[in-house]
Chains A and B, each alone.
Chain A
Amino acid sequence: MTTLLSLRNVWVEFGDKIVLEKINLDVAAGSFVSIVGPSGAGKSSLLRLVLGQEVPTRGTISLDGTVLPPECGPDRGVVFQRYSVFPHLTALQNTMFGLECAQSPLLARLFGAARRAAQEEATAMLEAVGLGDALHLYPAQLSGGMQQRLAIAQALLKRPRILLLDEPFGALDPGIRADMHLLIRRLWREHALTVIMVTHDIREAFSLGTRVLALDKRRHDPHAPHRYGATVVYDLPLRPREDDEAAPAQAEAEQAPPQRFAV
């Protein structure tokens, strides 16, 4: 497996507060990396670094061997817990947005045949995530789970090299969350995605991921707790992609007790 994303000696500091320290990480193409850790351990910071929303204080992040510029780009897609879709656009318009930006730099709108092609592509993607009946609804008319499906469709249409999920299912009901797990697994497999997902839910991390990273502080100074940052304390490879495809039933993987993988 080839390394897609690599972080070399990455530090994040705000003033004298150290958030992340000495992160060295290689993410293989096609892997599904779950990141867990206590609140404030810098899980989301790490994700924002890869996304380009934050810049490391030290160290380099490279995608496919090229150092990433300090801003977001279409090579990295993202789904946040909330506010991932545009409230003023319908589901279809939300999904077409990425195509329109790429093909029409000045107006960011398409007309005629190009528009119909984009609509078809977006519709197909929305059907793939189960929103075929909600093409012309605004996000406010969609449930939380449907909004996240829309956000995923929107991101996938740009065919990002890497898909970043920041607690994407954190605000959903347990039942809906199980549906979303099946969806993201299916999309991950069908589109050969590389996914990094931050989550609070340990079970989710283990049932979805091919690799689980736990972030925490290695050391703790009671007099200056901010002087030590979090880093990767556990790096657990769970199963290679091939094994997963051979795995008997998806439901079983969903039910798998996390203890099985505990170190």
Chain B
Amino acid sequence: MRWVNRNMRRNDRMIAGALPILALLVVYLVLAAQRHALNPSDKILPLPDAMARGLSALLFQADPLSGHFLFWTDTLASLERLGLGLGLATLGALVAGLVLGVLPPVRATLGPLVTAIAVIPPIALLPILFIALGLGETAKVALIVVGIAPAMIRDITDHIASLPREQIIKAQTLGASSWQIMIRVALPQAMPRLIQAVRLALGPAWVFLISAEAIASDTGLGYRIFLVRRYLSMDVIIPYVAWIALLAIAMDFALSQASRRAFPWAYGASH
């Protein structure tokens, strides 16, 4: 049988998908155990108990200096920045994408500008943002927005502009104005694609968040990772990275479910 035809059952797929992850964990544990056998105070590959100890200090003990439970304040600060950045970028992408996608004169006027901004590496703009907006929250949120919005705008614009011409014509023969076409024809059909764009932007958004936090911050998941790096605290870094991965997966899953729930027509509702 050809490999392209080897479809797996649901249970088999779950097992197959779990295997590489388990293998990676086992390899890590073996390597860590080896290092600890040679040097019981090794910090580079901490064993799970060391990670649990390192993390529980941040989870359950208030920081003597600030009185905060650092893990939670870090998570909250990062999620707030990420949420603001994603929210603003999504809103901007939707509005800009709609206007650019539906109205040819606007597309002709602003399309090249969006393309030009999209090709600038956002990290190169970080110094400008810090100078212009200061080192506070604004600059960090702005970096996320500047980093992900242009690609999202282009995606939504292209998607809307490629709606079948027949639909736009039909709407006009039903008496729709440009505005009505925008809000009743283009907007609803852009929504599933917008959620898709947010899901794809999650990765870059985290990159920009961690970068901004690493450079100038006093709280946040990225800040903590880069801070404890100075003490080779892999027992904190690894759980933090795993936590970030978990948050990202949860967001992705929630978005994908929300899209299926809210826009059943976009997922070829069954006959």
Q: Using a CB–CB distance below 8 Å, which chain A residues touch chain B?
A: 51, 53, 71-74, 76-78, 80, 82-89, 97-98, 100-102, 105-109, 138-141, 151, 154-155, 158, 160
Chain B neighbourhood of A160, CB < 8 A? 173
Closest chain-B Cβ to A129's Cβ sits at a distance in Å of: 16
Ordered by A's residue number, 12 sampled pairs between the chains whose C-beta atoms are within 8 Å are A72-B172, A73-B173, A77-B173, A83-B166, A83-B170, A88-B189, A97-B174, A98-B174, A101-B171, A108-B184, A141-B269, A158-B174
Check A82–B166 contact: CB distance below 8 A: yes
New contact pairs (9) apart from A105-B179, A155-B173, CB-CB < 8 Å: A51-B169, A73-B172, A74-B175, A84-B167, A87-B189, A97-B171, A101-B174, A108-B176, A141-B270
Q: Is B104 an interface residue (CB 8 A)?
A: no
Chain B neighbourhood of A139, CB < 8 A? 265
> Contacts A88-B188, A108-B184 known; A72 to B173 CB distance under 8 Å?
yes
Q: How big is chain B's contact interface, by range?
A: 20 to 34
Q: Using a CB–CB distance below 8 Å, which chain B residues touch chain A?
A: 164, 166-167, 169-177, 179-180, 183-185, 188-189, 263-266, 268-271
In whole angstroms, what is the CA distance A260 to B201 when docked? Answer: 65
Closest chain-A Cβ to B16's Cβ sits at a distance in Å of: 32
Check A138–B265 contact: CB distance below 8 A: yes
* Cross-chain contact of A88 among B171, B174, B265, B270 (Cβ < 8 A): B265
Consensus secondary structure, chain A interface: loop
> Contacts A72-B169, A84-B170 known; A97 to B184 CB distance under 8 Å?
yes
* Cross-chain contact of A98 among B175, B188, B264, B269 (Cβ < 8 A): B175
* Cross-chain contact of A105 among B170, B171, B177, B264 (Cβ < 8 A): B177
Closest residue of B by beta carbon distance from A53: B169
> Contacts A80-B166, A88-B265, A138-B265 known; A108 to B173 CB distance under 8 Å?
no
* Cross-chain contact of A86 among B167, B169, B263, B268 (Cβ < 8 A): B167
Closest residue of A by beta carbon distance from B180: A108
In whole angstroms, what is the CA distance A106 to B263 when docked? Answer: 23
In whole angstroms, what is the CA distance A106 to B268 when docked? Answer: 30
Closest residue of B by beta carbon distance from A138: B265
Closest chain-A Cβ to B156's Cβ sits at a distance in Å of: 15
Closest residue of A by beta carbon distance from B164: A83
Closest chain-B Cβ to A229's Cβ sits at a distance in Å of: 23
In whole angstroms, what is the CA distance A98 to B174 when docked? Answer: 5
In whole angstroms, what is the CA distance A51 to B266 when docked? Answer: 29
Chain A neighbourhood of B180, CB < 8 A? 101, 105, 108
In whole angstroms, what is the CA distance A101 to B176 when docked? Answer: 5
Chain A neighbourhood of B179, CB < 8 A? 105-106
